[in-house]
């Protein structure tokens, strides 16, 4: 642990007066990515006294950590693969959050974790699979990805809206009665990647099931040569009253999922769908600079939404290498956006804090983990390499039944609560009731 702390003390002494980026020079790209990733580690809790390994500072949620590690792993793979200290940090953080069932449903996240959260972590560990990142000795990254996929797929809910995943895993969380594109898109995306990696058509069948359901329920609408993706709907009206917000990361994971399926199957239907989603993705660029079009113009993006471009950029990079015909369009976007993102990373006391609005000159004064993530992934998209498969050098060990233990009550949206946890919950309830009663008395007086 001491060598890790020394490493980060050294990093904190590095001050960069703005980042220049030559998109045609790998060393320049990696230098920019290093500075941005150093800024990202400033938010990491795992090296702080009392901090949790694998978690980032509030107000970031558990799923934001999954986003972060996917990009940090790509930085390690593309730019710094001999850095054992960095390797240990990524390994420890990702593995520590796997949970007792090694399915990325840790019990301490039961009050916040949704299907999309688990799915984002699944994408991160699938990055580890496809980049041959150091495997744990007891549970491979691949088996844990399969456990994520299996537990998500087991929650497919035919009792409402004729299918689909709910937003939340646990019945007590707000949003349990909501079905959305991002949760279902994560299942689609993971199924597509597992199909390609393992050469297993069973996963293709799942991807087709999700696609057909999303299209049938109206979350995805075909308009000419575009597919429009809406946020989701509450089950109370049988998913007919749509929330029509559109988010970049939803487009990204659906687009790259189609790209994986096209690369694996060679079926032109997935090429056509890739092209239609790519066309629709153009709305997330203003003068070829990436932005979150749903909330950025009105300057009301919340903390989560400020990170969405990270997954979008990663997905664009993957699509460009999996479907060659998309590379020219995507490169045009990424080339411009990466330079704009890098020049925004000139703020804060460390000089490497990235901004939110990349269209302005320099840092815009906005900062956070999401800003660092989005800039990092956009720069790294310049270096995206073809993902490995089991037949092209991938070494992670498969377990098709991972997560399907019949004793695993997570599949029925339940969780085992210990006696100690119940007692703690009782104390918390008493405290909350006491506060409410005291407030009531104060209001009367």
User: The domain that contains 251 carries what CATH number?
Assistant: 1.50.10.20
What is the per-residue pLDDT for 77?
Answer: 98
What is the per-residue pLDDT for 409?
Answer: 54
Strand partners, 353: 347
Residue 268 to residue 273: CA distance in whole angstroms: 8
Cβ contact 64:370 at 8 Å: yes
Which 3 state secondary structure label does DSSP give 241?
Answer: coil
User: Is 432 among the domain residues?
Assistant: no
Two structure tokens written together for 415: 């969780």
What is the per-residue pLDDT for 88?
Answer: 98
Residue 35 to residue 264: CA distance in whole angstroms: 36
CA 164 to chain CA centroid, Å, is 20
User: Is 21 among the domain residues?
Assistant: yes
Strand partners, 180: 232
The total number of structural domains in the chain stands at: 1
User: Is 100 among the domain residues?
Assistant: yes
* pLDDT tens string 82-106: 999 999 999 999 999 999 999 999 9
- Average pLDDT value for residue range 395-420: 67
DSSP characters over 62-90:
HHHHHHHHHHHHHHHHHH-TT-HHHHHHH
Q: What whole-number percentage of the chain has pLDDT above 70?
A: 87
How many other CB atoms are there within 10 angstroms of residue 127's CB atom? Answer: 24
User: Is 416 among the domain residues?
Assistant: no
* pLDDT tens string 52-62: 999 999 999 99
Cβ contact 141:73 at 8 Å: no
User: Is 276 among the domain residues?
Assistant: yes
User: Is 113 among the domain residues?
Assistant: yes
CA distance to 41, 165, 351, 375, 412, per residue, from 13 (Å): 13, 46, 10, 21, 49
- Average pLDDT value for residue range 21-25: 97
CA distance to 65, 153, 154, 318, 352, per residue, from 407 (Å): 28, 16, 13, 37, 48
pLDDT of 2 > 70? The answer is no
Tokens 């006391």 locate to: 349
Give the predicted TM-score (pTM) of the model. Answer: 0.89
User: Is 410 among the domain residues?
Assistant: no
User: Is 430 among the domain residues?
Assistant: no
**Residue 280 exposure: Cα atoms within 13 Å on the Cβ side:** 27
* pLDDT tens string 202-238: 999 999 999 999 999 999 999 988 999 999 999 999 9
Would the CA dihedral through 190, 193, 194, 199 be positive or negative?
Answer: positive
Domain that holds residue 304: 2-400
DSSP characters over 153-175:
HTT--TTSTTS--BSBSSTTSTT
């Amino acid at each position: 642990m001491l060598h890790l702390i020394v490493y980060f003390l050294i990093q904190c002494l590095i001050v960069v007066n703005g980042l220049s980026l030559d998109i045609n020079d790998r060393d320049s790209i990696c230098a920019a990515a290093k500075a941005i990733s150093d800024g990202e580690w400033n938010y990491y809790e795992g090296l702080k006294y009392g901090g949790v390994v694998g978690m980032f500072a509030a107000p970031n949620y558990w799923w934001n950590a999954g986003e972060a590690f996917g990009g940090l792993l790509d930085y390690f793979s593309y730019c710094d693969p001999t850095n054992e200290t960095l390797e240990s940090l990524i390994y420890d953080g990702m593995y520590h959050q796997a949970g007792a069932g090694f399915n990325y449903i840790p019990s301490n996240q039961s009050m916040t974790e949704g299907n999309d959260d688990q799915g984002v972590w699944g994408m991160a560990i699938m990055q580890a699979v496809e980049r041959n990142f150091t495997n744990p000795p007891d549970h491979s990254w691949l088996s844990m990805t399969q456990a994520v996929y299996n537990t998500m797929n087991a929650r497919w809910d035919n009792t409402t809206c004729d299918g689909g995943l709910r937003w939340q895993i646990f019945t007590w969380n707000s949003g349990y009665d909501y079905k959305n594109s991002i949760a279902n898109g994560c299942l689609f995306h993971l199924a597509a990647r597992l199909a390609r990696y393992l050469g297993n058509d069973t996963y293709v069948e799942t991807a087709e099931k999700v696609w057909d359901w999303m299209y049938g329920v109206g979350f995805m609408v075909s308009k000419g040569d575009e597919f429009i993706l809406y946020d989701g709907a509450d089950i109370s009206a049988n998913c007919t009253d749509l929330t029509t917000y559109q988010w970049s990361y939803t487009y990204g994971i659906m687009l790259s999922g189609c790209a994986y399926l096209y690369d694996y199957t060679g079926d032109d239907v997935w090429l056509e769908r890739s092209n239609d989603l790519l066309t629709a993705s153009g709305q997330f660029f203003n003068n070829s600079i990436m932005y979150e079009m749903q909330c950025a113009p009105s300057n009301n993006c919340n903390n989560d939404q400020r990170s969405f471009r990270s997954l979008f950029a990663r997905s664009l990079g993957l699509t460009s290498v999996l479907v060659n015909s998309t590379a020219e369009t995507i490169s045009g976007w990424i080339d411009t956006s990466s330079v704009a993102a890098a020049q925004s990373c000139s703020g804060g006391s460390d000089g490497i804090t990235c901004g939110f609005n990349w269209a302005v000159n320099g840092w815009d004064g906005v900062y956070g983990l999401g800003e660092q993530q989005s800039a990092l992934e956009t720069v790294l998209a310049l270096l995206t390499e073809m993902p490995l498969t089991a037949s092209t050098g991938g070494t992670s060990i498969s377990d098709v039944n991972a997560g399907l233990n019949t004793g695993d009550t997570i599949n029925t949206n339940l969780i085992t609560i210990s006696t100690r946890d119940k007692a703690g919950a009782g104390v918390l309830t008493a405290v909350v009731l006491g506060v409410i009663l005291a407030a009531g008395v104060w209001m009367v007086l």
